[in-house]
Structures are given as C-alpha cells and as structure tokens.
A and B are shown apart, each in its own frame.
Chain A
Amino acid sequence: MMITRTHLALLGLVALTLAAMALPFLLDGYWLRLATTIAMFAIVTCGLNVIVGFAGYHAFGNTVFFGCGAYALSIAMNAGWSFSASLPLALLAPMLLAGLLGWPLLRLKGHYFAIATVALNLAFAELVTQAGGFTGGANGIALPLSDLAPQIAYRRIYWMMVAVLAVCIAVTWWLSRHWLGTALRALKDNESGAEVMGIDTVSAKILAWMISAAMTGLAGGIWAYWITFIEPSSAFDPLIGVKAYIMMLIGGMGTIAGPLIGALLLELFGALIWAQFLDLHRLLLGCLIVATALALPGGIVPLVRRALRPARPAR
C-alpha cells in the first residue's frame, strides 16, 4: 500500500512536470516569462520551506543564496566556463556558504537568527559591491550572450526551471519521509527536547540549511543566465525572500505542494492585478496577503487536506 502511494505520487509529479514542459508550445512571450517566474519563485519557496517550514528557523535573508548562486554562475561564465559547467557552482557555492555559516548562525534562536540572515544578505550585497574586479562591483556583470535565438533560449530556460523545481519537490517529498525530516519537525516543536531524545540538532539544522541554500542558489543561477545582467541590488534583493515567504504562507508551511501552489497563486494574482490596476497593485496585493493570512493561517494545502480527510488529525 505504501509502495503504490509512493508510485502514484512520483507518477503524478512526472505527469505534472511533462505537462508543464509542454506549455512553451502554447504560450506567447509574456505568458512564458510569467510561467518561468512562477517556476523560479516556486524553487526559491521550496528552499525557504526546508529551513522555515520543516526546521522552524525563520531565514528572512535566504535571498543571500539566490544572489550567491547568481554571482557564482556569472563569474564562472565570464571566466570562460560554459553554462553547464557553471551551473553546478550555483548549487555548490551557496551550499558551502550555508554549511560554513550555519555552524555559528544556527545557534541563534528565534528573531536573532532571522535578523542575522537579513544582515548576512545585506553584508553580501555590500561585499560584492565593494569587491569590484571580477564581481563587477556596483556596475554589475553582463553575462556572455547565448548563440541561440531568444525564443529557443527562453524555452530552454523555462524547461530548466521546471526540471529543477520538479527535483526540489521530489527532495521535499523525500525529506518528509526521511529521518532528517522527522528530526527537523521534532526540533521545530522543541529543540532541547529533540536533542535529549538523541537528535543531533546542530547537524540536522545545518543539513537543512544546506539543502535550502542549494535550491535557492540554483534558482539564482538560472535566473542570472535568463536575464543576462545582474547587479548586487537585483541579485540580493530582499524582496525576493519576502515574496517567497508570502508564497510559503499561502501554500502551507512544511507541506510538499505548498511552495508551488503559493507561487502559482501569488504570481497569477499579481499579474492580474498588475494588468488591471497599475498604480494600486502593491496596495491590492498587500490587502490580499493580509486577507489570506487571516483566513487561512495554515495555508492552502492543510485546508485541502482537512477537507479531503475530515476524520484524520491534520498534520
């Protein structure tokens, strides 16, 4: 029974991915751009979900890994590396950063950790700006242009985003069934209690943040290749993290489908409101977010789950 459910879930994910992969043949430039943005934010939200939704550590400044991935890829490509050789760096560099900084930072609790990550993001933006040279400093970096026709290049970028997103969702699903996921959920509820029950909480948190950083960094790397020009203020834009946070809250923290659902809804609504009310869209979006938070404190996924299985206790 377990196996059939596992197979069904995997089959569903593959079918969804294939369907999403077919979209570029139906969409024009504007909608393809929107679909790529949705996939990108879904990846960033998946990354946030691992550290916030599972481990309960509010990494407000997780954007640092997005920027780190974007810069790792851009610097490598400008040094003459191919895109496919550079992309792994967009995963490895942020992961390494999370591993190194997780040791001191993840000892901080609650707001202190959240604020420390915000400071980290700001510090990195400043560091890249001041460094100049190969980082381009405040002027930013332009990436080597691809030889492909733009339409084909954009399709490929969309496909890459979707493929990475599918892997991120699969990793989240794996995590929810793996001992690491159990350890994270336990320490989210009660960290010292988890430690006393034999959980190496420090290692579990660092691993979670490394996974989170890898996902976020990949999104940043592909994004840099997509827009072909990055600067500190766009790659380390704190709004990326804020948006991902809202998407995670709308979709459902600590759930598997939540990040995708949240990204889909927020971006689609955003596009709709943007088109109708150019001046008021931020205000309307803000109201929508507050309304969602009040009406659905746990997000959409737990709500749907409760509706489907009213008798079972919700998790």
Chain B
Amino acid sequence: MTDVLTIDNVSVNFGGVKALSDVSFGLRPAEVLGLIGPNGAGKTTLLNTISGIAPLAGGDVRADGVSLAGMRPFRITRRGIARTFQIVRPFAHLTVAENAAVGATFASHARPSREEAVARAFEALAQVGLTAKADALPHQLTLSERKRLELARALAMKPRILLLDEVMAGLNLAEVEPIIELVRGLARSGLSIILVEHVMKAVMSTCDRIVVLQFGRKIAEGTPEQIASDRNVIEAYLGQRFAERRAREAAGRTA
C-alpha cells in the first residue's frame, strides 16, 4: 500500500528554535493517524508545513509522490488536502453557511456553481449538526459549535486528506462522541486523516496508528496498543521515574 502523504525527514526552524527535526512517517489510504505529543512538541507546526504555511528548513512533504515544498497553500489545498485550525479562524463577517461555502467554492480547480457550492456547504453543516445555525455569524456560536464549523469548512472542501488539529479540545464527552463517530465514518468512506489530539480516549479509540512527537522529534510510531506500552512515550508523558518503575515491573513479570 503506497502512502497518500509522505513526511520525509522534515525539519522546521523558527529563528533559533528547532520546531521539527528530521521527522518522517507516512499516511496510508483511508487510515486515521493520530499525532500526539506534549505541548510545544511540534504537532501544529507539522500540519502547518503540510498545508504550506510553515516553510521547510529541510526534508520534503509529498502527496501522491508530488513534492509540496514551496507550493502556495491554496495549491496544496486544491490537491485535496484540507485542514482545521487549533485556534479556530472562521471568516467573522460571513455567516456559518457562507463560511462552509467558501470551502466548497475554492477547494478545487474547477469552481462549482453557486448552487452546488451552497448545497455542498449545507451537506457539510448537516454532517457536523450545524444546519440550524446556518444563518448565524461565527461570534454567535458556542465553542463546540465553532469547532464543528471549523470541521464543516474542511468537509465542504471534499478533501482526500484531512488534517484535524485538536477539533475535540474543550468539548465535553457528550460532544466528543459524535465527532469520533464522524471521523471513523470519514475514514471508512476513504478519507485519510491525521488527527492531532490531546483527548487520549479519542485518540486511542479512533486511530489506526499513532505517531508521537516530543521536542520536535518523532519518538514513537505504532498501533494504539504499542504506543500505550512504549517506554519512550510513557516517559515523555509521565516522567522518567514513572517509566523506570513501569519497566522494572514489566521485567519482574517476565523474569
């Protein structure tokens, strides 16, 4: 199975700060790939690199074998790569429906008709349960609704690859459930998804595979089960002493 998206030795610098160092992994067709790591690990930066708003200092990002390095963000989007932003940024003066229609209108090279764009926008709003708020302005939405609008804008683009940056952060469990369902459903329908998330329950139950970043480096990659028992990961999240104790316990059991 060839990867739809290849992250190849990616490095990104901000001034003197190395936000990412030699990160490599691949996104497979129709999978949900979790991207986790402590605050400041470089998760958002990696998504920014893929969507072309953070310049590469080294390495390459390829979609279907085509390098995205140096490509303007709108061209990357039109290759079928949509994303959400951790800090939601709807167009403040456009209604909820118009916000989604922007995604439907501009995300492909062949611009759809107005009616088709509006239809697609409403389809996306229905998917996230925002139809009732179609005529509202973004500032009239709750946090949960704004997060879902962010998702709807991306879905209206009908992408092949979807990059989700903490769409569940700040939501309660009842609000998280339907989004997990939606993400799983999207993957089943063929979308390849990178899911950046701090909500562990969501990550473990949604993802096929997980990549872990710490201080801009990849420290682990594997299935949720492998990641849950990975020493480096436990260390990164819970501290070194806890990891050593877990390792001693594990050694004691096998001995």
Taking Cβ atoms with an 8 Å cutoff, the residues of A that contact B are 179, 182-183, 185-186, 188-190, 192-202, 312-313, 315
Contacts and interface: CB of A to CB of B under 8 A. Distances in A.
B242 interface: no
Nearest to A187: B91
Contacts of B153: 197
A188 to B, nearest CB: 8
Nearest 5 CB-CB pairings of A with B:
A198-B106, A198-B107, A189-B91, A198-B77, A195-B73
Interface string B176-195: 00000000000000000000
Interface in B100-144: 101-103, 105-108, 111, 114, 135-137, 140
Contact of B77 (A179, A183, A197, A312): A197
Given A197-B153, A198-B157, A179 B74 contact: no
A197 B107 contact: yes
| Majority secondary structure, B binding face | loop
B92 interface: yes
B53 interface: yes
B105 A196 contact: no
B215 interface: no
B74 A199 contact: yes
B51 A179 contact: no
| Chain B: number of interface residues, binned into ranges | 20 to 34
A34 to B, nearest CB: 35
Contacts of A185: 91, 93-94
B74 to A, nearest CB: 5
Contact of A194 (B91, B92, B114, B157): B91
B94 A186 contact: yes
A199 B106 contact: yes
A306 to B, nearest CB: 13
A196 B154 CA distance: 10
A195 B85 contact: no
Contacts of B106: 179, 183, 197-199
A56 to B, nearest CB: 10
